[in-house]
Structure 1
Amino acid sequence: MVPHLTTALTGPINELEQRILESMPAIERWFRLEWMEHTPPFYTSVDLRNAGFKLAPVDTNLFPGGFNNLTADMLPLSVQAAMAAIEKICPEAKNLLLIPENHTRNTFYLSNVATLKRIFTQAGLNVRLGTLDPDVTEPTALNLADGSSLTVEPLVRNRGRLGLKDFDPCTILLNNDLSAGVPRVLEHLHEQYLLPPLHAGWALRRKSQHFKAYEEVAKKFSKLLGMDPWLIHPMSVPVEGVDFSEGQGLEALQAQVDLVLSKTRKKYKEYGINEKPFAVIKPDAGTYGMGVMTVRDAKELVDLNRRSRNKMSVIKDGQEVHQVLVQEGVVTHERVNDAVAEPVVYMMDRYVVGGFYRIHADRGADENLNAPGSSFVPLAFAQSSQLPRPGEKPGASAPNRFYMYGVIARLAMLAASYELELTDPEAEVYA
């Protein structure tokens, strides 16, 4: 299913698409050279927003759920990418321990875990599930919506190695974003590969670091294509010392919202864009779309009611919010069945393996769609997203549009690679 773009099929987004298609050999060579210098995250999903005049990532997830939303046609590519990733890390790998989120009664999330297990089993690994949940003390069956089940088992730590009873894995794959902190059982593992690394989890990771790295990547890429990096980059600024429940730090937050709105206004004027700028305030560490607010005027922060303050002050696993990211809002002008939509692209190793549209019938084009009530429509990959159709007019071909999505998503994945290198606590730091 191809979304209906409410913007006219002329203007910057089509110029960007055309430029990306014409530059495909240079782009793929550029990515190839970057991946010679940097290691891609093991798997990644990227939320994109297509405004019709700019296309930018607004969230990059290093512990993606939602693999169950990929179509069956996309799974062979996922299996191939999984093979490539495992071969680079541990070629002799036989056993894989998959550690999911603790809230594993969520049947939608369990379907994601089942899909991951299927992918890695087909990649030639024995896959078993271990849980960080201390309440699980014996193998426990969890029922899926389709009538099948998964078994999760308590973790067993034996000196420097982590596994299950009678199961010693070479590789441990986290599908748990560590929002509640880094469990001691995962620290100081000996001769086992933990993917992604601990500092990729929300206990340590910050969105502001990611978007700072993305800005660097966007500038490099835009120089290659001879274009304005703003067309693919959302301006972002972190604000510390915020306490919504007590009303502390809101003046500093207002100042940064004003700054982002002012800069956005200038860009809109430069490009003749007739839209009202907005900013998005989100936790600097966090996921599941929790604690996200759309602001069109900094004065709105003065009149926050108690419910809004509570929503912004505590997120997943009861974590309090004291540092936020103020990000230039990117409107979405995509629709699926008249519902607001945004593309989400999935990658494993350095390959795009699929994606879907997140749609929300009750949300506006300038609102967060990652919220209760959202649903998912698979991207219509008539061909691989890596195989555009040169020569077709911009906006006329789904594969061309999806190739462009894949390019921007890979830029965000590359930024995540930069970010993980810079924040690696074990990396050598040179003065």
Structure 2
Amino acid sequence: MSIPSYKRNVGLTQNLTERSLNAINRFLHIEAVSGGILLLAAVIALFWANTEAISESYSHFWHTQINFSFGEYSFSQSLHFIINDILMTIFFLVVGMEIKKEIHDGALSNIKAAVLPIIAALGGVVVPILIYLALSTDEIKSGWAIPAATDIAFAVGLLALLGKSIPSSARIFLLTLAIIDDLLAILIIAFFFSGGLEPIGFLIAFIGILGVIALQKMGFFSAFVYILPGALIWFGLLKTGAHPTLAGVILGLMTPVLTRPNEVDAIERANAAISNIRNKAIENSSAEIKALARAKREILPPVVRVKDLLHPWVAFIIMPIFALANAGVNFGNVNFEDTLALNTIFAVSIALVVGKPLGIVFFTWFFSKLGWGELPSDLSLNWVLLIGLLAGIGFTMSIFISNLAFVNESNILEAAKLGILFGSGCAGFIGLLFGFILLRSNKKL
């Protein structure tokens, strides 16, 4: 008996809706748990860097040289480089895929619904930058982009601590804002923190991009075949003087969002495999299980499949390792009598704690008054203020940018990281406190 087409369409729509909601919930859950692991990694890094008996080993360990050779080619880089420039490429790959997916069928696909979070994100970038520039002296103005970033893992993690009474629209607003924030931070890195550009590097990167396009046209859906052209893009960007982690963003934005043309055939094969498994003992169904796994790979869009595969690795391993390698500020290395160091700490922390919420709330209020967008009915400006406070947690991307801004100024770099840690900590604490007060006041109404 065949199922009427309209029922199939309704079922498909419901399935897609449920899948989208499940994807958002899964993403938020991973980010929430990851925030706790990130915090633990940062605390361990600070303890390691400031415990007299082992403090010297912190810097020595992360600058350990890793060497290997293949024929005439030899590779020699520090562990710090491998983490910041290679592993973080995978982080940016996931960010790029998340942006691509949200543009296609997520929070950014409906421009009317996305316009206010996008505007809020712009305010959360512009105002902190202006505050930093206003408070800083000429010698440290190169760090202007540090307070522009939001750490989505910490922000979502603290929002999750407030419980399920938080409006669902607040979570979506924060997620959309953080994704746009990441995109703006990526553009800042690409345009303002790339050195003298070498043309040969662009040629190598372009060949890598053509390789990706060619493989997609030939129908290769396995992620592994894209490692070689991806490595070419990474190496090309390194040669140009641009930051090589941008290769991850390029690959993420190039990842297909549509399934293979034979999706219906894959669904039928999956159903057949499930029927066969039901009729057999599970231990005798290895062929059917392999067929089911293969069909699943074909049914899921590559952007979903690869992102779901990499996201836990990024959230639970790569980002904590990055925090462990970069958050270890040795307070003894920060000269608190140095005016520049104090100015850096003050400018960064104030820009994060004050600039972020001020920019997000003001831009949201001002442009909604102009009629450019409308907040959801369950989302007042008080909730937007809470989101703004949590967005003041810069951490991962802020530390990443500080490494680029003060590459040859170790004292200022340590001060900037201290400002990030202090400002992010204050923003998180104030946000959490304000959130609990907001929830309590809402219960009394």
Query: Higher Cα Rg: structure 1 or 2?
Result: 2
User: TM (normalized to structure 1)?
Assistant: 0.24
- Indicate the structure whose relative CO is greater, using CA pairs within 8 Å and at least 6 residues apart: 2
Question: Which structure's residues are more often strand, by fraction?
Answer: 1
